[in-house]
């Protein structure tokens, strides 16, 4: 009997190819236990054919199972087309927190010398996105307006998850909003961060204004960090953080819905990259980010064997790169499928050795 059911959201072009590589790693013959995969075709053509009904169905399935993994998809630019499936998924699973983690890839020189992982925990809703905008006046007297809002509920969820993530990473919660300039609006997130710090006294907490956070990141190197942010700030911050490590190949992205007890109730994992149409069908794209998305999803199964498999996948992927098994984007000549094959070989070996050594070996 399958241990968990994961909703698989198929995508477009290279995004779909890399999803299939990640699913190969999550096969029972590799990780040692069954996962039921329920597939939904979120390719652009099928979204058009169903007028986005398939996206709503995938979201409903995720609400039921609590777990999803999504391939990169094409968002058409034309007005009146099907738009982005991410916006629909985010709304229908009540996704309020996005987590993106940057980490050093062996053999890839970070841009600033940073080598400890950094997670950006941001609002997935509210703030500048979805705000009403309008203009009044003419000529140089024309004025543009925008309504923005954030809620205490979402602020609390972001703050709490930031501390949970920091505890998991043995990291420090670092940064925060511009609460000195905006004590009412941005100060709400700062208030919730301060309260979360009281609930988690074991986690180090160093609040900084968002501008200081950007500046100080350029001098950081040896300390793992978790950076909580508003929606707009986090969008910019996560792009910066991932590029600080020289490549987004070692990163995964999580969208979370949080319950009233501040625990994740739905988790959707994906890679932070797009569909890479220029690489489609060439078997050269790097599957590591998608594979790590699968590993991250396993960590939310809350079972010992899934936790061990998650760790094995993370280690196998990064160790493979360290040993020179690299796709073209990392300066190597390994194909997409060859890289996955090597990760699978290493995962099987690790899990077998850990099982032989007993439970202590997998910790």
pLDDT in the model for residue 156: 97
Residue with tokens 């009904």: 53
More confident residue, 99 or 243: 99
Check whether residue 83 and residue 146 sit in a common domain. no
In a domain, 102, yes or no: no
Task: With respect to residue 104, please indicate whether it lies within any of the assigned structural domains.
Answer: no
Report pLDDT digits (tens) over 49-59: 999 999 999 99
Q: Report whether pLDDT(361) > 60.
A: no
Q: pLDDT category, 1, cuts 50, 70, 90? A: low
- Report the distance separating Cα 73 and Cα 54, nearest Å: 13
- Domain membership of residue 273 (yes or no) is yes
Answer yes or no: is pLDDT of 362 > 60.
Answer: no
Residue 18 lies in a domain: yes
Q: Which two tokens stand for residue 77?
A: 């630019």
Per-residue buried b or exposed e for 43-60, using 16+ beta carbons within 10 Å of the residue's own CB:
bbebbeeeebebbbebbe
pLDDT over 90 (residue 27): yes
The pLDDT value given to residue 313? 98
Look at 296 and 109; give whichever has higher pLDDT.
296
Please say if the pLDDT value at position 113 is more than 80.
Answer: no
Cα angle: 31, vertex 35, 41; to 5 degrees = 120
User: Last residue of some domain: 246, 271, 292?
Assistant: 246
If asked whether residues 260 and 226 sit together in one domain, one would say no
pLDDT tens per residue across span 274-313: 999 999 999 999 999 999 999 999 999 999 999 999 999 9
Domain shared by 116 and 242, yes or no = yes
| pLDDT, tens digit, 9 for 90 and up, residues 87-102 | 999 999 999 999 999 9
In a domain, 206, yes or no: yes
Same-domain pairing of 204 and 124:
yes
User: What kind and span of H or E run contains 350?
Assistant: helix 336-357
Indicate whether 306 and 210 sit together in one domain. no
Q: Identify the pLDDT of residue 218.
A: 84
**For range 4-26, the mean pLDDT:** 97
Domain end position, chosen among 221, 246, 271: 246
Same domain for 64 and 146, yes or no, is no
Q: Is 360 a residue whose pLDDT tops 60?
A: no
pLDDT at 249: 85
Percent of the chain with pLDDT over 70: 98
Same domain as 152, residue 194: yes
Per the structure, the count of domains in the chain is 2
The tokens of 200 are what? 């988690």
Question: Checking DSSP bridges between strand 67-70 and strand 172-175, what pairing results, if any?
Answer: unpaired
Per the CB < 8 A criterion, the answer to whether 44 and 11 are in contact is no
Q: Phi/psi at 330 (nearest 5 deg)? A: -105, 15
Task: With respect to residue 103, please indicate whether it lies within any of the assigned structural domains.
Answer: no
Q: How confident is the model at residue 125 (pLDDT cuts 50, 70, 90)?
A: very high
Residue 115 has pLDDT above 60, yes or no: yes
Alpha helices in 132-186 (DSSP H): 152-169
pLDDT-derived band at 359 (thresholds 50, 70, 90) equals: low
Same-domain pairing of 181 and 207: yes
Q: What is the pLDDT of residue 171?
A: 96
Q: What is the mean pLDDT of the chain?
A: 94
CB atoms within 10 A of CB 61: 20
Quick one: 191 and 269 in the same domain? no
Mark whether 255 and 357 lie in a shared domain: yes
Residue 335 falls inside a structural domain: yes
Q: Which of 5-9, 216-220, 305-309, 313-317 has the lowest mean pLDDT?
A: 216-220
Q: Which residue has the higher pLDDT, 209 or 80?
A: 209
Instruction: Give the residue-averaged pLDDT of 260-267.
Output: 92
* Co-location of 233 and 159 in the same domain: yes
pLDDT tens for 163-194 read 999 999 999 999 999 999 999 999 999 999 99
Residue 165: domain span = 109-246
363: pLDDT strictly greater than 70: no
Percent of the chain, pLDDT > 90?
Answer: 86
Q: What's the pLDDT score for residue 250? A: 86
- In a 10 Å sphere around its CB, with 0-12 CB exposed, 13-18 middle and 19+ buried, how is residue 37 labelled? middle
Q: Which of 231, 246, 261 is the last residue of a domain?
A: 246
> How far apart are alpha carbons 44 and 37 in whole angstroms?
21
Q: CA nearest 286: which of 226, 235, 222, 335?
A: 335
In a domain, 302, yes or no: yes
CATH number at residue 135: 3.40.718.10
- Within 13 Å and on the Cβ side, how many CA atoms surround 301? 25
Same-domain status, 301 and 222: no
């Amino acid at each position: 009997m399958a241990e968990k059911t994961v909703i698989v959201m198929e995508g477009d072009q290279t995004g779909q190819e890399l999803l299939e590589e990640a699913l190969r790693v999550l096969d029972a013959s590799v990780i040692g236990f069954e996962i039921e995969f329920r597939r939904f075709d979120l390719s652009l053509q099928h979204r058009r054919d169903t007028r986005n009904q398939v996206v709503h169905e995938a979201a409903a399935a995720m609400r039921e199972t609590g777990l999803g993994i999504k391939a990169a998809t094409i968002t058409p630019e034309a007005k009146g087309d099907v738009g982005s499936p991410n916006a629909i998924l985010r709304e229908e699973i009540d996704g309020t927190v996005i987590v993106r983690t940057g980490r050093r890839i062996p053999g890839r020189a970070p841009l600033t010398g940073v080598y400890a992982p950094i997670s950006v925990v941001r609002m997935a809703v509210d703030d500048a996105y979805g705000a009403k905008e309008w203009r009044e006046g003419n000529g140089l007297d024309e004025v543009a307006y925008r309504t923005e809002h954030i809620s205490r509920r979402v602020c609390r969820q972001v703050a709490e998850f930031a501390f949970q993530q920091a505890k998991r990473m043995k990291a420090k919660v670092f940064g925060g909003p511009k609460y000195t300039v905006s004590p009412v609006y941005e100060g709400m997130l700062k208030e919730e961060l301060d309260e979360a710090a009281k609930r988690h006294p074991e986690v180090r907490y160093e609040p900084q204004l968002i501008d200081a956070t950007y500046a100080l990141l350029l001098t950081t190197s040896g300390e793992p960090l978790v950076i909580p942010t508003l929606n707009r700030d986090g969008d910019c911050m996560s792009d910066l953080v991932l590029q600080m490590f020289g490549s987004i190949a070692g990163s995964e992205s999580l969208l979370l819905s949080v319950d009233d007890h501040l625990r994740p109730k739905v988790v959707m994992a994906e890679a932070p990259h797009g569909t890479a149409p220029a690489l489609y069908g060439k078997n050269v794209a790097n599957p590591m980010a998608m594979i790590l998305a699968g590993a991250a999803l396993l960590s939310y199964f809350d079972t010992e064997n899934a936790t061990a498999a998650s760790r094995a996948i993370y280690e196998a992927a990064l160790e493979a790169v360290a040993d020179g098994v690299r796709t073209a984007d990392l300066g190597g000549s390994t194909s997409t499928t060859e890289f996955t094959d090597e990760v699978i070989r290493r995962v099987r070996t690790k899990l077998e050795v850990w099982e032989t050594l007993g439970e202590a070996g997998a910790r």
